[in-house]
Structure 1
Amino acid sequence: MDETNFNAPAFPSTPFLCVDTAIMDRNLAAMAKRAATAGLSLRPHAKTHKVPEIARRQLELGAVGLTVATLGEAEVFADAGCTDLFLAYPLWVTAARAARIQSLASRAALRIGIDSVEAARELGQAVADGGVEAVVEVDSGHHRSGCRPEEAGAVARAALDNGLSVAGVFTFPGHGYGPGKRRPAAEEEAAALAAAAASLVDAGIAAGTVSGGSTPTAAEADAGVLTEIRPGVYVFNDAQQVELGTCGWDDVALSAVTTVVSSAGRHVILDAGSKVLGADQPAWATGGGRILGMPEARITALSEHHATVAIPDGVPLPRRGDILRAVPNHVCAAVNLADELVLVRDGVPAGTWAVAARGRNS
C-alpha cells in the first residue's frame, strides 16, 4: 500500500480500516499450506475478520470449516453459505439460545464447546437429537475456560448420556501470547490435549478431533497429537504478532488509514483513537499500536478519537494533514469497531467488504 493515494476520491475520509488484499491472500495461502504440510485440518477462527467474503476464500483454500465465538457469528456465516461451524466457546444454553441452536443445526454442521458436566446436561436437554456435536474444552495453561484434561472423559460421558454426540477435545493456548512463550505454550497444549484424548478413550469415547492452535502457536503445533488448528489473526496480522515474531511488517494486511491532525515537539496526533484501533495493550507490548513505515515510532496514548504517536529522533516528522497507517495491537478488536473494510490491491482501490458479523456478540 506504500504508493496508494489515500486522498483519491475513491477512498472515504479518515479514519478507516484498509486491507491490502494481496498481502491477505498471501497470508491465507501460507497458513493453508502450513496446515496441509503438517497433516492438520485448518478451521480458521472467523471472529478476526467477521467477513463472509474472506471466509469463502479460506474454505476455497482447503479449510474444513470455520470457528466462531458466538451464536450471532455462526448465524451470519451460516446465512452466507458456510455449512460447517464450530462454536468454540462454553455456551450456557437458555431456551432462547436453544431455539437458535436448533435453527443453525438444521442448515449447518454444528459443533459447540462444553467444559463441565452441567453444561453438557443443559446443552443435551435443550437440543437433544438436534444434530449438534459437543467438543470438550480443556485448559492447557491459559487458565480461562476449560476443564482439567483428566476430567474430559467425564464431561464427554455426560454429553453422551444427555443425547449429544462427542466430536473430541479442544483447547486455546492463549498463554502463547508473550515474548518467548509460543513454544512452551504449544508443548503444554499438546500435553493437555493428549491427556484429554486419553481421558475420553478411558471413558469409552473416541476423540476424533483434537483441536488447538492460535496464530502464535500454529507453527509449533504438534501434529503427533493435534488433528486440527484454529488460528484467526493470521489473515491480517497485527502489531502484537510482529512483536511476538510471528510475522514481519510485510505480512501485515490491515491498517487504519489516519490523518495527522496536530503535533507538538516529537509527538503527532492522529484521528484514529481507541474507537478505531481498539484499546488492547498487553503488558509486554511496547505501545498502543505501531505505524507502518516507521518501525521505531510508537503509539504512546489512545483516547477515543486521538492517538498520540512518539516520533523518534532522526525520523522525518509528519506534518499536519499527512496520512499515516496505524497498525492496531489486536486486529480482532479493531475490526469489530468498523462497519466496513476498504480494500486496495497493488495500490489501487478495490472496493469494500461489510463487516457482516460486527457486534454479533450474543
Structure 2
Amino acid sequence: MNRLQKALDALVDRIDTPSPIVLVDVMQENIDRMQGFAAQHGLDLRPHVKTHKCVEIGRRQVKAGAVGITAGNVGEAEVFAAAGFDDIFIAYPVWPAGTKGPRIRKLSETTRLRVGVDNFAAIDALAGAMGDEPDRLEVVIEVDCGARRSGAPPEFAGELAAAARNRGLVPVGVFTYPGHGSAGPGSRKGAAEDQDAALTTAVRSLSAAGVSPLVVSAGSTPTVEFATNSVITEIRPGEYVFNDLNNARLGACTQDQIALFLAGTVVSDWVPDQVMLDVGTKALGREGTPEIGYGGIAGTAAVLSRLNEYHGFLPLPAGDFCPGVGTVLPVVPNHVCPVVVNFEEYIVTDSTGTSLERWRVDARGFLN
C-alpha cells in the first residue's frame, strides 16, 4: 500500500476533509537532505518560507543549519520576526508605499534584514523610508537570468548597487530566480547554467563598481541540484520541504519524498466511471492543465480532470480502483504552495499515521 494512503487510513476517523496532511518524518528527511547538499557544496541555505508559512517548520530548518530564512513579502517577514527569526531576506523587489516603508524600518530594528531591489526608483524610496538610518537596511540586487519576471539585466547590477550605496543603504550582493527551470524535465540544468552566467556577470558588475558581493543567492527547488557554481554563496529553495507532483515530474524529487497531501472524501458517484471529491479550487488552487490534471491520487494513475470551487472531478482509470462514496483518498497537489494558503493549520503525522499534531500556518493571509 502507498505510504500516504497508509498514513491516511490510520487518521481517517480523527480528521475532517479536505485537510492538508504533513508526514513529518518525510519532511524532516527533506530538510536534512537539502541541508546536507548545502554543506557538501559549501553553500549557505536560506529556505523560502512562502512554501510552508509555518513557524514550527521554519524553526526546524534553522535548527538543521539554515543561516536564516527567505520571505516573499513584508507580512511574512513580520510574522517570522515576531517569532524570533532574526536573519531575514525579503527576496522581492519591494515598493515601500503605504505602510510598507515604516514596517520595513521597524523590522530592521530587530532583525538583520535584507530586501531585494531591481530599479533606481525603489532604491530612492527605500532610502527615504529608512529616514536618517539607511545603513540599517541591506539590499540585494535582483537580476534576471531568463525567467523574464523581475530583475535587472545582470550588467546593470553594479550601477544599482552603487546607487544604493550612495543613498546610504548597504548593498551586499545579487540574487536571481531561474523560474524557467520548471518548464519541463529537460529544462532544469539549462536554467541553472543561465543562472550561473547571469550571477557571474552581475558579480563582475558589482566588483567594477567597487562593491564587494558578500552574498550571491540562487534558487530554486527544481534547479538547486545544479546550483554548484563557485560564484554562488547561497541557495533559496522553498518547495523541497514538502515537494509536489510538479517537482516529481521534473525529476527534482521522487514520489517517496512528497511530504504533504490533501485528505479528500468521495462525496458522489452518480456519473459512470467518475467520482466527485470534496477537493476543489478552494483547497488545491488552480494549478494544472487538462493534459496533466489538477492533482493526483497517490498510488494510482488517477488524476483530477477538473475542479470547481468545492468539487474535484475524478475519472476512474481502467482497473480495480473504484472508490465508493465515503472513501477518503490522498490527493497530491501539482504545486504545493497554493494549497498552503487555503488552510489555517496542518495535520501533522508520520508515515505510520500513529501520531497526530496540529501546526498553525502562521503567515497565512499575509500577502503584503
TM-score (norm 1): 0.96
Change over 3 Å in CA distance of 1:86–1:133 after alignment to 2: same
- How far apart, CA to CA, are the structure 1 residues paired with 2:47 and 2:120? 27
The partner residue of 2:292 within 283, 286, 290 is: 286
- SS of the counterpart of 1:3? helix
Change over 3 Å in CA distance of 1:5–1:240 after alignment to 2: closer
Change over 3 Å in CA distance of 1:9–1:195 after alignment to 2: closer
Q: In the alignment, is residue 247 of structure 1 matched against residue 250 of structure 2?
A: no
1:277-356 correspondence to structure 2 within 5 Å: 277-281=284-288, 286-294=292-300, 296-345=301-350, 346-356=352-362
Corresponding position of 1:12? 15
Corresponding position of 1:35? 38
The partner residue of 1:270 within 277, 281, 288 is: 277
Contact 1:39 1:223 in 2 (8 A): no
Corresponding position of 1:150? 155
TM-score (norm 2): 0.95
Corresponding position of 1:73? 76
- SS of the counterpart of 2:157? helix
Contact 2:68 2:88 in 1 (8 A): yes
Corresponding position of 1:175? 180
Corresponding position of 1:260? 266
Give the CA deviation at 1:95. Answer: 5.1
Give the CA deviation at 1:64. Answer: 0.5
Corresponding position of 1:86? 89
Give the CA deviation at 1:8. Answer: 5.1
Contact 1:2 1:347 in 2 (8 A): no
- SS of the counterpart of 1:167? strand
Contact 2:138 2:172 in 1 (8 A): yes
Corresponding position of 2:232? 226
Q: Which AA in structure 2 matches 1:71?
A: V
Contact 2:17 2:263 in 1 (8 A): yes
- How far apart, CA to CA, are the structure 1 residues paired with 2:227 and 2:94? 26
Contact 2:8 2:263 in 1 (8 A): no
- How far apart, CA to CA, are the structure 2 residues paired with 1:198 and 1:118? 23
Give the CA deviation at 1:2. Answer: 3.3
Give the CA deviation at 1:12. Answer: 2.7
Q: What's the Cα RMSD here? A: 1.5
Deviations along 1:114-134, one digit per CA (max 9) or x if unpaired, are 001111111112115241100
- SS of the counterpart of 1:106? helix
Q: Which AA in structure 2 matches 1:280?
A: E
- SS of the counterpart of 1:299? coil
Contact 2:88 2:112 in 1 (8 A): yes
Corresponding position of 1:160? 165
Give the CA deviation at 1:186. Answer: 0.1
Give the CA deviation at 1:290. Answer: 1.1
Deviations along 1:273-297, one digit per CA (max 9) or x if unpaired, are 11001111268x6111111111x21
Change over 3 Å in CA distance of 1:143–1:260 after alignment to 2: same
Structure 1, unmatched stretches of 5+, are none
Structure 2, unmatched stretches of 5+, are none
Contact 1:95 1:126 in 2 (8 A): no
Give the CA deviation at 1:103. Answer: 1.1
- SS of the counterpart of 1:241? helix
Q: Which AA in structure 1 matches 2:21?
A: C
Change over 3 Å in CA distance of 1:103–1:22 after alignment to 2: same
Alignment coverage as a number of residue pairs: 360
- SS of the counterpart of 1:330? coil
Larger deviation, residues 8-17 vs 33-42: 8-17
Give the CA deviation at 1:11. Answer: 2.7
Over 4 Å off, 4+ runs:
5-10
Q: Which AA in structure 1 matches 2:51?
A: T
- How far apart, CA to CA, are the structure 1 residues paired with 2:140 and 2:191? 21
- How far apart, CA to CA, are the structure 1 residues paired with 2:279 and 2:79? 28
